[in-house]
Amino acid sequence: MLLFKNNPLRINIMWKFTLINVAVIGIAIWLAGVSVKDYACLLFANSPSVTIEESAIFDQTMQTFLIKASLTAVLIAAFIHYFL
């Protein structure tokens, strides 16, 4: 019965697998991104010619890029997982 393409059980299982995959990939992407962001902000803040305000702006910019990149990567991973 699982061999039929429009089987509701098969569709339900595919959605669950997709959501689990998105969650796992999202966590991995977020952890890697946060690590890179924090290290980049640390290096930038320790530069002798950087003020506290510049460091805060850099940190906020990196946080914004991290969120956008993570969401994009999770959406692409979900799309690829579901259709392949």
Banded model confidence at residue 21, pLDDT cuts 50, 70, 90: confident
Banded model confidence at residue 14, pLDDT cuts 50, 70, 90: confident
pLDDT digits (tens, 9 = 90+) for 47-79: 888 888 998 899 999 999 988 988 888 788 778
Give dist(CA 67, CA 60) in Å, integer: 11
- In the predicted model, is pLDDT for residue 82 greater than 80? no
Task: Collect all residues with Cβ–Cβ distance below 8 Å to 82 and sequence separation of at least 6.
Answer: 14, 18
| Mean pLDDT for the chain overall | 83
Please, what's the b/e burial string for 38-64 (b: 16 or more CB within 10 A of its CB; e: otherwise)?
Answer: eeebeeeeeeeeeeeeebeebbeebee
